Structure 1
């Protein structure tokens, strides 16, 4: 099982705060999971395929394609701006 969480404007855009996916329901690589989620519709595709989308695995930022393991938390959130 993995948890997939969406933050800030992504949560509103997708109308989804969190997904829980069981073994066999998710692709084993982060890139494949993003493609799998993108297939759910236009808003999902926009969020998942954007180069600006930030991703953290178990609260550690990543830009690499990583292998997902049971118990992982995958978090997607928009770029953070400061001021």
Structure 2
């Protein structure tokens, strides 16, 4: 399955990557699975996307939970938690 990944704010800085086209194995079905798959790259990927770290996700410009199913050709965006005052 082909996806377009986008990383924003502190995630982009830590990974030194703002976007990436990726072809993932067929067993990767959800955003949560995708996040685990990306952690397998090790190093900063494992740290930044570590399980339990709060990261927001969007599928085709719509905020969604991590158990959302992936779609061929979709854009998946990862955001750090937003704070404000």
- TM-score (normalizing by structure 2): 0.82
Q: Distance in 2 between matches of 1:16 and 1:26?
A: 24
Corresponding residue of 1:40: 41
Corresponding residue of 1:59: 61
Deviation at 1:28, TM superposition (A): 2.3
C-alpha RMSD of the superposition: 2.0
In the alignment, structure 2 segments of 5+ residues that lack a partner are none
Out of 70, 73, 80, the residue aligned to residue 71 of structure 1 is 73
Q: For the Cα contact (< 8 Å) 2:30–2:68, is it kept in 1?
A: yes
In the alignment, structure 1 segments of 5+ residues that lack a partner are none
Deviation at 1:6, TM superposition (A): 0.3
Aligned residues: 83
Q: For the Cα contact (< 8 Å) 1:47–1:53, is it kept in 2?
A: no
Deviation at 1:64, TM superposition (A): 4.0
